[in-house]
Structure 1
């Protein structure tokens, strides 16, 4: 693997008296798709929030493009190009599609907002058609497109996708994973945090499996799928 774009070592984090992450090591190389897998409560979302500086780290280190960002403010993290598309989409329901997208360039790439908006509309023609529609009136699949489009407006170097297939129909899930593949083909590094194990491992180069806040297995997708005990105990495939 080439030098990591994101390098996490010994990461600990939690809420109040509860420690959720117990010493996580994880790397994402430039242009790589890495899957972070695990059941509900394994610590995936806490990991995302800690790397994105929404929850403070209690120990360990987070480096992005060679710089230590462990204690950085979340705006500084976004400014470096590490962008997070949260679980549940988190669009602004009372703003239009266009307004939601424009907010994606608030902290980064503001000068190229018009060009990036056109790029997002070319990737998601449905968003162009609905640019003046209130985001809260859109379907779940359309809101997921909007959430990803908003992330792309900030010209990410690494895009964290937190449960992007959650609540989508099988057809929309297929479309979503096709989109992730296209973004990867353009050179974008992606950390894919998912419960949809089979499709995640089809598209990712490597994967980590979390259980109770610790990495239980890591390796190439092929290696994980070839391990019978892992497939049966952790992946359900």
Structure 2
């Protein structure tokens, strides 16, 4: 579904990503793990067309998208749920969800809305409520539900467990499993190493703009270099 070759990108005069190669196959959960400041969010923004590519290629379902505009990338079905949720706080839950189908999925908006409410019953209960008054966990549900409204063919989740209580973190990873069980490939970008490796098929450890480790989730978990690459130990 997604293939990255020799990807380089950055902000201003600083190169943040320095020659990344990775892939996500149909039906997989692939985790990109790393501490703050190693380039995870930059990678997501590059994949979404928000930050330009300096070198390399990005292919989505066999088609190059490294020079495509963000709206064209969304229309192709590569959907990014950003870090920090980025909901519209003064709009209702329903309005936030409907905006998710602005560029893709509009003809099936009513059906997709029901699917989101079936996945997140709390959002149905609060559909008329201002999104900014929701709890942190409910706002994360809303952000993912908004992504689902666009009928993703591949879903990028950027730090979905960030700021959640331990109980809600467990619920979030259970949700990721359920979405994937329905056939949705997911690129999971996280700091939560332990639980990400439990749900992912494969993983990449990002360190200073490069992948320090990669392989199956089990192999990465058992690699003694994981502590050095991720924790600097």
TM-score higher than 0.5: yes
Q: Distance in 2 between matches of 1:158 and 1:104?
A: 15
1:83 is paired with a residue whose SS is: strand
Match of residue 150 from structure 1:
146
Matches within 5 A, 1:55-70: 55-70=51-66
Q: Distance in 1 between matches of 2:22 and 2:75?
A: 22
Matches within 5 A, 1:1-237: 5-230=1-226, 232-236=227-231
1:161 is paired with a residue whose SS is: strand
TM-score by length of 1: 0.97
1:234 positional shift: 2.8
1:229 positional shift: 2.6
1:60 positional shift: 0.3
2:3 is paired with a residue whose SS is: strand
Residues 203 and 217, structure 2, Cα contact 8 Å, conserved in 1:
yes
1:227 positional shift: 1.1
Instruction: Note the residue ranges of structure 1 that are not aligned, 5 or more in a row.
Output: none
Residues 207 and 230, structure 2, Cα contact 8 Å, conserved in 1:
no
Residues 212 and 229, structure 2, Cα contact 8 Å, conserved in 1:
no
1:228 positional shift: 1.5
Q: Distance in 2 between matches of 1:64 and 1:157?
A: 10
Instruction: Note the residue ranges of structure 2 that are not aligned, 5 or more in a row.
Output: none
Q: Distance in 2 between matches of 1:129 and 1:234?
A: 43
1:155 is paired with a residue whose SS is: coil
Runs of at least 4 residues off by over 6 Å: none
